[in-house]
A and B are shown apart, each in its own frame.
Chain A
């Protein structure tokens, strides 16, 4: 069901005369520079968001800023972390919108979401449980185990979010490349994607058979000035990070 909803999101909103290639999602994916700028902003915002989280987590682990109270570091740095998070989330959602079906069935994207949820759960646990005793450990160079555990989970979670985000550019575990019945195939819900792809291929081949059996000529689509028929124009290009690993 979610696959169908995302397929609708990809094909319908903004589409002119029902043509999916003109939907807002497809136009964004095939845009000249807009997609690249949003993706670049997403990656660069990591420097602000994850970079500041790293510093606070290192303090909680007792690996840096040992002579600075945790509250000083956290209170002054947290606003920048929040701004960074807003940038990362907004750009991330827009990027998802550019190719929702592909990302929904992407193994790395799903793993990334799992670790985002883990990181969020950790934040809540730290804020509502561990932080209650902050006055006791605020100035300690080596905070207690629960604080260090929260910091360790935070660092690990965000590290995996970044790792899986980077791996999304690679096509190893695309549905077409995984054997049915494998863990990856099930994890990425490839069943629904391949069903949709097969249905689309069957529709196309049955249209061709109908045309051949009735002996009808397909209507000649007038060529544009370039000599190509509109149907032969290249489809909107996929976002760059799907095609090949990106240089940093």
Chain B
């Protein structure tokens, strides 16, 4: 699924726009796009720090002696600066390559994933931080909307033909969170399952990828392995952060999950962005 399948009538206009003089002039410049791309990746770095620290604090880890309100207030100007830079450079990249983003499934994933990421960082996290962790009705609604849209973005990411491998980054981030912050049982169990998956992939490579050289079959096996891994990892995350009592009475377990969720939402946006160029204009 991509924007082309949702809005097929847009294609002629986008093609005309792509061939316009302004776009051609920007593309022919030797410095404009490098400057845009460099600014975009620097802004991603700033975003990383600005969303991680409040997210970790909500999870009840990191700077636990500092109030969530203080952390959120300190990072807020940097978060906004990063988001503005990302928006400006992102729009620029869309203008210069309209047909690519029109057909790229990863771009659709990125746009949808931006909804939960922004709702969480600018709405939910800020509200929880300023109210000492107390959740209002408005915050609850934003969280539910964020969860639904994030799940939709993950579903599209994991099922799109070309971009599905990119969802590995989100699964990997979830795995790291579970392994670093999970209980001893989670580390042992998830570690053992991971080892089994690695053996499975090795066996598949020897028995399937190399001998048969059937691209579609290989992709199908890889996709389903990744989906199974995703379900396992997120199952462990839910159990650790929602199913079990919070280790710290001052940190409600729903807030902990929101912290995890915020980090994963932004990883989804970043991973999808990376895979716009790598994932092709598939289905």
Question: Chain A interface (Cβ within 8 Å of chain B)?
Answer: 32-33, 36-37, 39-41, 43-44, 46-48, 50-55, 58, 64-68, 72-73, 76-77, 80, 83, 159, 162-163, 166-167, 169-170, 172, 240, 245-248
Contact = CB atoms under 8 A, between A and B. Distances in A.
Central interface residue in B48, B49, B56, B100, by most chain A CB within 10 Å: B49
Nearest to B53: A55
B34 A77 contact: no
Given A44-B267, A76-B63, A68 B70 contact: yes
A43 B165 contact: no
Nearest to B82: A51
B104 to A, nearest CB: 8
Contact of B65 (A58, A66, A72): A72
A47 B30 contact: no
Interface of B: 30, 33-34, 37-38, 40-42, 44-50, 52-53, 56, 62-66, 70-71, 74-75, 78, 89-90, 93, 97, 100-101, 165-166, 168-169, 172-173, 176, 180, 215, 218, 222, 266-267, 270-271, 273-278
B47 A44 contact: no
A247 B165 CA distance: 16
A54 B172 contact: no
Contacts of A52: 48-49, 52-53
A163 B165 contact: no
Given A51-B45, A54-B46, A80-B52, A43 B63 contact: no
A23 to B, nearest CB: 16
A47 B47 contact: yes
> Nearest 8 A-B pairs (CB), nearest first?
A47-B48, A51-B48, A51-B49, A247-B277, A50-B45, A247-B276, A33-B165, A246-B277
| Secondary structure type dominating chain A contacts | helix
A248 B78 contact: no
Given A43-B41, A50-B48, 13 more contacts: A37-B168, A37-B169, A40-B274, A43-B270, A43-B274, A47-B49, A65-B71, A77-B63, A166-B34, A245-B34, A247-B277, A248-B37, A248-B40
Central interface residue in B63, B180, B271, B276, by most chain A CB within 10 Å: B63
A37 B165 contact: yes
Given A163-B38, A167-B34, A245-B33, A46 B277 contact: no
B152 to A, nearest CB: 21
B66 A68 contact: yes
B89 to A, nearest CB: 8
A169 B36 CA distance: 13
Contacts of A166: 34, 37-38, 41
Contacts of A248: 37, 40-41, 44, 89-90, 93, 273-274, 276
A166 B63 CA distance: 32
Nearest to B173: A44
A162 B40 CA distance: 11
Contacts of A245: 33-34, 37
A32 B63 CA distance: 41
A247 B49 contact: no
Central interface residue in A48, A67, A72, A247, by most chain B CB within 10 Å: A247
Contact of B62 (A53, A77, A246): A77
Central interface residue in A41, A47, A52, by most chain B CB within 10 Å: A47
A64 B74 contact: yes
B42 A163 contact: yes
A37 B56 CA distance: 25
Nearest to A76: B63
A40 B42 contact: no
Contacts of A170: 34
Nearest to A87: B176
A166 B197 CA distance: 33
Contacts of A50: 45, 48-49
B169 A41 contact: yes
Nearest to B40: A248
Contact of A40 (B70, B169, B222): B169
B274 A51 contact: no
Contacts of B65: 72
Nearest to B89: A248
A169 B49 CA distance: 25
A4 B254 CA distance: 57
A64 B274 contact: no
Central interface residue in B30, B45, B275, by most chain A CB within 10 Å: B45
